[in-house]
Amino acid sequence: MIADNTWPNRFFDRHKPMPGVNLEEVLQKIQKSWQSQPI
């Protein structure tokens, strides 16, 4: 299994949250997309 810290860090590095975006909402979207991907 991929290290938990690696993928999110790369994701946030490439897609910096825009001002006004709710971080919790972004995290929920990441968790949903992460769970939908079979590993």
pLDDT band at 5 (very low <50, low <70, confident <90, very high): low
Query: Which whole number is the average pLDDT over 16-25?
Result: 68
d(CA 8, CA 30): 8
Copy the structure tokens of residue 18: 């825009």
Q: What is the pLDDT of residue 13?
A: 64
The structure tokens 């910096």 sit at 16
Task: Delimit the domains of the chain by residue range.
Answer: 5-36
Q: What pLDDT shows up at residue 39?
A: 58
Alpha helices in 1-39 (DSSP H): 6-14, 23-36
Q: pTM of the prediction?
A: 0.35
Average pLDDT of the chain to the nearest whole number: 70
Whether the per-residue pLDDT at 10 is higher than 60: the answer is yes
CB 11 within 8 A of CB 30: yes
Is the per-residue pLDDT at 33 higher than 80? Answer: yes
